[in-house]
Amino acid sequence: MQLKFNSVSFCQNGDTLLGPIDFESKIRGITNVLGYNGAGKSLFLEMCHAMINPTLGCVHWNGNLAEDTKYSRGFIFQHRVTLYRSVKKNIALPMQTAGWNNKLIEDRLEELLNMAGLQSKSEEPASTLSGGEVQRMALVRALATYPKMVIMDEPTSSLDPSATTEFEKLISQNANSGIKFLWATHNITQAKRFADDIIFIADGKVSEISEAKKFFNNPSSTKANNYIKGL
């Protein structure tokens, strides 16, 4: 999937929080978004998914505006998002919104609950799940309508090692089946394990885009080099 930022900036209260950004890059597998806290990673992802609109410029996916292709993507927030309903009904929501009939929803729900290991908890309130279970639920909810891509904002940042491992298994499984991931993480070890490519953001701008191996072994920007050395 081709991602293009065309002279994009986001401003608030007279301050430029992100941009200007100009680039075009292919998301070919798992692309990790890296950068210091406050660099603008979350804003960047939100504009990729058209959750917020740029003050200037425009974002395109495969030549189409991001807001016109929103339903081809899923999104997972850093902070756990659960609706006041059962696990099953949480996962079903995107399919209901898309107008699927009940038979299709039930068939897909069975597949997704099995994928997340939540079959036995399908009728329980989502609020009773552990942190790891919530994020697995969030992932299969994001995958429910067969998106081409899932965008994730530090989804494992608050998980313990065991829960992180279970979540990562789901990522690997779906990446191997062709789903693309654009994934912000502060965990450099995680990025080294999973990333095909890196987008490095510094001071509200895209400082570097490169293959992961090249980025970690020989970053082309001074800011990226300092970031890696400081970790």
pLDDT tens over the chain, length 231 residues: 999 999 999 999 999 999 999 999 999 999 999 999 999 999 999 999 999 999 999 999 999 999 999 989 999 987 766 677 999 999 999 999 999 999 999 999 999 999 999 999 999 999 999 999 999 999 999 999 999 999 999 999 989 999 999 999 999 999 999 999 999 998 999 999 999 999 999 999 999 999 999 999 999 889 999 998 875
3-state secondary structure of 193: helix
Cα 44 to Cα 123, 153, 164, 212, distances in angstroms: 36, 10, 24, 19
The number of angstroms, rounded, from the C-alpha of 16 to the middle of its chain's C-alpha atoms is 23
The amino acid at residue 118 is: L
What is the pLDDT at residue 81? 67
How many contiguous H segments (helices) and E segments (strands) does the chain have?
Answer: 8, 10
- Which letter does DSSP use for residue 125 in this model? B
What topology is assigned to 2-230 in CATH? Rossmann fold (3.40.50)
What is the pLDDT at residue 174? 96
Count other Cβ atoms within 10 Å, centred on residue 101. Answer: 8
Q: Tell me whether the omega of the peptide bond preceding residue 20 falls within 30 degrees of 0, making it cis.
A: yes
Rg (CA), the chain: 18
Question: Which pTM does this prediction carry?
Answer: 0.92
The amino acid at residue 52 is: I
Structure tokens at 137: 């639920």
Structure tokens at 179: 């789903």
What is the pLDDT at residue 63? 96
Q: Where are the domains of the chain?
A: 2-230
**Beta pairing partners, 8:** 21
Closest CA to 91 of 127, 69, 122: 122
Closest CA to 186 of 197, 172, 200: 200
End-to-end CA distance of the chain: 30
